[in-house]
Amino acid sequence: MHRSATLAVIALALTLTACGSKVEDPVEQIVVRPPGVAAVPAAPAAWDLVAAGKAAFAVCTACHSAEPGGASGIGPNLHGVVGRGAGSVAGFSYSEAMAKSGLTWTESELDAFIANPSGKVPGTEMVAGQVADAQRRAAIIAYLASLKN
Ligand code: HEC
């Protein structure tokens, strides 16, 4: 009886401690504004995901072009890659792993590939260009998705 009462008190104390520390944690603020009201200028056009992605794509351009009809380099041309089958750029010599992956480059497949190329497609010849940061990947993918054929 006594023991379980003590445990209950400890459990309560732990719960309170946990709650207390949660309150101190920084929280993400979501600002709700009525339609038509301009966004606070403190969040400038800087949060243009496509523009951010275009800038972040710089790490890819050593090997990839994303120009329409652009030549493939060390890696295949990536114009219109979102929605396209993996290993499908004519004239590019893919690894067998990529050619036979059977993947379609949806945004989530691209995310997984860019996060860890050889984890997603074991045996791929894309040996660099891994992007660890999820936000950076999201921006790059938004940029690639904005490039229509
Ligand atoms: C060091 C050169 C290099 C860099 C840097 C690089 N890649 Fe690649 N990438 C390749 C190669 C080579 C392939 C072909 C892989 C294969 O055949 O296995 C490839 C393939 C791909 C594919 C599959 C395309 C298709 O047609 O199936 C995507 C998508 C891709 N890369 C995206 C990126 C992105 C996004 C970046 C930048 C974050 C990047 N790559 C950086 C060399 C590179």
> Cα separation of 10 and 25, whole Å?
23
Cβ–ligand 1 contact at 65 (below 6 Å)? no
Between these two residues, 56 and 16, which has the higher pLDDT value? 56
Q: Which atom of ligand 1 is nearest to the CA of 144?
A: 35
Q: Is the pLDDT of residue 87 over 80?
A: yes
Distance CA 14, CA 56 (A): 44
Give the integer Cα–Cα distance in Å for 64 and 3. Answer: 67
Name residue, tokens 């059977």: 102
pLDDT in tens, 92-123: 999 999 999 999 999 999 999 999 999 999 99
The CATH superfamily of 48-146 is: Cytochrome c-like domain (1.10.760.10)
Q: Which atom of ligand 1 is nearest to the CA of 110?
A: 29
Q: Are 111 and 119 in contact (CB under 8 A)?
A: no
- The larger pLDDT score, comparing residue 4 to residue 60, is at 60
Question: Is there an atom of ligand 1 within 6 Å of 141 CB?
Answer: no
- Give the ligand 1 atom nearest the CA of 62: 5
Q: Quick check: 142 and 134 in contact, CB under 8 A?
A: no
Contact 82, 105 (CB under 8 A): yes
